[in-house]
Amino acid sequence: MYPIERVEALNVEVTRMVVRAPEIARKIKPGQFVMLRIDEEGERIPLTMNDCDPEAGTVTIVFQAVGATTMRLARLKAGDALMDFAGPLGNPTELEGAKRACVIGGGLGTAIAFPQAKWLHDHGCEVDVITGFRNKDLVILEDEIDAHSTRQIVMTDDGSNGNKGLVTQALQQRIDEGANYDLVLAVGPVIMMKFVAATTKPYGIKTLVSMNPLMIDGTGMCGGCRVKVGDEYLHACVDGPDFDGHLVDYDDAMRRGVMYRSFETAAREVEAGRVASEGRDCGGAAAAASAEGERKGA
Ligand code: NAD
Ligand code: FES
């Protein structure tokens, strides 16, 4: 069993959880993920590491309560334990050699992009972090990013934080100002990563995107997580999750992303019904139930 040491709501949709897993904490690197299972009845879900502390033996995950399992996860408390917590899985993000990087996080993707920004900053790279949220109440990890970046730009779709626009507008502005990036890394909605890659392509800036298709086994066996990259289909779980942003077929990824939506919606409704019948608050999970289901990091 893997004891939960701390649970904290970062906003109405997003929870941060610190899990005791010393073996994984020693090995896991930015970009890698774990597969967890709450109990023997639960499904296995992939969640990308947000932070780790090898000395304390803990791994931090951040997730959005949008599917049946993440809704259950958000209801656990410090002192509870997870049955399975397997990893590290996937390949670490290739960050070596970058001198001027821009790390972009869209919504929850911000939590997944944070360890890369931290690693780059700790290794002497100049790092701009651009994040985007629907409104100011959803902004997460501002203090942590401030401590591990050269510059932080927070955009909101509705302008409620005084900075209206999408992450791509901030990125274009920084490029126009002469930021001269040698690496851009984007984590967030597929549509955001598509337009980040389209923004950097004319300048030939190396661009990595973290793909989060539905994952079942996380070991390359089931084929569920295929992503079209150039002329081939690759598996996000063993070949990724990061891919060359200029080669990913985002439209194919979005088509595949809706394939399991009816199954996910049904599972979520069952869980929401269970919460309601228990008369317990699930930390805004039911309110978030209009979003998509269980994917890596979501
Ligand atoms: P969201 O839909 O609120 O979008 C966040 C930000 O992305 C927006 O504020 C905006 O700045 C940017 N964005 C959205 N559409 C854009 C477009 N067309 N062009 C440019 N920028 C755009 O995000 P959310 O509700 O927090 O949802 C999180 C999303 O991130 C989910 O889709 C989830 O699947 C995904 N996610 C991805 C990963 C990954 O590994 N790639 C990990 C976790 C979450
Ligand atoms: Fe099954 Fe990747 S999750 S092949």
- pLDDT-derived band at 278 (thresholds 50, 70, 90) equals low
What single-letter amino acid sits at 175? I
Residue with tokens 């990308």: 48
pLDDT over 70 (residue 136): yes
Mean pLDDT of the chain: 90
For 14-58, write each residue's pLDDT tens digit. 999 999 999 999 999 999 999 999 999 888 999 999 999 999 999
63 Cα to the center of ligand 1, angstroms: 13
- pLDDT-derived band at 214 (thresholds 50, 70, 90) equals confident
- pLDDT-derived band at 290 (thresholds 50, 70, 90) equals very low
For 95-109, write each residue's pLDDT tens digit. 999 999 999 999 999
| Ligand nearest to the Cα of 196, by number | 1
For residue 17, give both structure tokens: 């959880």
- Among the residue ranges 46-60, 119-133, 174-188, 217-231, the one predicted with the least confidence is 217-231
| Alpha carbons 130 and 133: distance in angstroms, whole number | 10
Strand partners for 49: 61
3 Cα to the center of ligand 1, angstroms: 30
Alpha-helical runs (H) found in 148-249: 167-176, 190-200
Ligand 1 site, CB within 6 A: 48, 106-109, 112, 132-134, 155, 157, 166-168, 187-189, 191-192, 195, 210-212, 292, 295-298
Residue with tokens 């409620």: 160
Look at residues 114, 52, 45, 53 and name the one whose alpha carbon lies nearest to residue 82.
Answer: 45
**What region, left, alpha or beta, does residue 82 occupy, with left being phi > 0 and alpha being psi -120 to 50 degrees?**
beta
Look at residues 244, 254, 249, 246 and name the one whose alpha carbon lies nearest to residue 198.
Answer: 246
Which of the 8 DSSP states describes residue 78?
A: B
| Alpha carbons 85 and 216: distance in angstroms, whole number | 14
Q: What's phi and psi for 293, nearest 5 deg? A: -90, -150
pLDDT of residue 55: 97
Report pTM. Answer: 0.89
pLDDT of residue 293: 40
